[in-house]
Chains A and B, each alone.
Chain A
Amino acid sequence: MSGFLQQCFNGLVSGGFYALLALGLAVIFGMLGVVNFAHGAFFMLGAFGAYVALAEFGVPFWAALVAVPALLFLFGAVLERTLIRRLVPFDPLYNFLLTFGLTLVLQDLVKREYGVQSQPYPRPAELSGSLDLGLFDYPAYQVFVLAAAVLLCLAVWLILTRTRVGMVVRAATERPELTRALGVNVGRWVTPVFAFGVALAGLAGVLAAPMRAVNPLMGADLIIAVFAVVVIGGLGSVFGSVLAGFAIGLVQSLGNLYVPALSQTLIFIIMAGVLLWRPAGLFGREEART
């Protein structure tokens, strides 16, 4: 029983990473219509940012948790202004290719500097122990990651549903042209929304650094699963992406326990099943974007 619960916990923790990445992808796709293939690379940059900050400058985890996403926000803003924006008016495939190329460039730049082997990153001292969760002990850091992921998703949800900015983002996601015709300067919100998604991926990367292997390919391994999560949740649906993120983490983790042979393919089997049943994903809307 405690083994089962522990595995559930493991699943929710990795689901937290799925949810944070899927959330950023969904918001960016909704607002810009861009499938951001570089999202995994931004996640990797977040983890490497934390590693470099500590190894080269002695910046502790907690400071990196704020500084690295802030830097990635700026990076994302520059990227949107200089490259992404120019391709938005054309076929979405162009930005897909651009971000795919960007992924390769970023990965190789990091590889050149630090090689392909994983870099160590210690857990912050405050969270190095375990917590007694009643039925079993669980690493305090993992509990922190889960709580942080849940709170971040909740915060983004509150921003989206309770603020004027969130209302504008929802409106521009649903009907960009009409929203402009109603007097809302949609273009002004595009850069901050993209940069926010990038920063969120970077934050997830910093959170991953102490518990996952920090290497140039860590994002590439994850992003394929995150794409499956986004498709299952419904492309562009923020709520669906987050829910699917946690759910897939959980299912995958239990799959590892009970059907280890399927552990790598389970997520894609689920994706295929969902697409057969609901082609727009669990929370996606049927109509196509115009």
Chain B
Amino acid sequence: MQNTTNKEREELLNEANSARWELGLDFHDTVIESIYSNASQIARKTVTQKGEKEAYSADLKIDKIVTSRWLGFPLMFLMLATVFWLTVAGANYPSGLLASLLVDYMHPILKSAAASINMPWWLDGVLIDGAYLSMAWVIAVMLPPMAIFFPLFTLLEDLGYLPRVAFNMDNLFRKAGAHGKQALSMSMGFGCNAAGVIATRVIDSPRERLVAIITNNFSLCNGRWPTQILIASIFIGGLVPAQLAGVVSAGAVVGIAVFGIFLSLVVSWGLSKSVLRGEASAFSLELPPYRPPRIWQTLYTSLIDRTIFVLWRAIIFAIPAGIVIWLVANIHIGELSLAEHFIQWSDPFAIIFGLNGVILLAYIIAIPANEIVIPTILMLTVLSTKLTGGAGDGVMFELDSVGDTANILHAGGWTLLTAVNLMLFSLLHNPCSTTIYTIFKETKSWKWTLVSTFLPIVMGLVICFFTTQIWMLFVVG
């Protein structure tokens, strides 16, 4: 019985196969065509149109403006610049508030609570100075910008403007062998690279999607803007008269961001000429009609889907990293702590790249979030130079005044060259652990995760190296 059915099945399959050979190449098309003609027949019988033309012609008028040769790009830059400005400026106050609540207010309370129950100093250090503080920093500096950026971005998306950005930018990306929608994931990357990597889901061809994922890190994310702004205003703004300082340092930060865009195009081009070879493939992009954004829904989805989601991932990574940060500063081998050993050991190498051991160590242990790089650098600088001030070994801190921060950094031996290299390295280093994890989730491939992690580091080191050596040759030499 079993045998005969098996045989029958075999025969049936063979027959089906030969039938498909007979049908030839364009059988699929014929099916789709007949479905469409059927559907349009039904629609003609049953659907009547009324007054749709009017609404649509208004759309067309808007489209003619936002995609026009002269106004298209300026409008786009204006729109995106407004979003970033609102994010950076708007996040300042709530960030400060959160920091004073979680760091300045809660941290001492927890400390004294720990003291009152006679917690051993090391446990108290690991849990409160390490894990809690790192989590608190991440929440304080990450939450407000994200809670502003994501809803704004989602509003633009909902409005229907973002597809027009992709439409306008496509030519540039096509020449780099990438997909026009990479413009979207790139803009999203300016908010958060992890979200940018997720946003590449809109790209349907796998090759272009990988290109977009690997290059997303070149978008300067929210976590890195404050670092750039701080360093630029201390070292670059300090070069010019006070009234020009703001403009010049803002210009330097924008310059770094634009350099990032340039690199992401160059790297896209390089990837599609080498490891991800191929011509620019299918591009068809629907330009949906404009519609009033659904504000509440937007707020809800962007807060839940993006902000909380990303923040949660960041917190999960921040806690163990906080413990590591505290431990390397407090475990001593001989006279020195682990951190100091590493800093002294790596200083000679770091100097070739115009950086220093503190910066290298900070970028290694502050991998969960770019936001905690500056607090970590400050803590490590104080630790390694034996300065007074700071909040204690392994306790990250930030200072209210830019001047005090500058003093610590100058004491750590920072020069203008160090600052320039830090700004470059902040743009070009491994993505944060949240992003790396997201890349792995999205690509399901160790290989591409490693490429996206190490490619920017290598590029960063190479660029810092040449910057430093050329600087030495012409400026110092």
A, B: real partners:
no
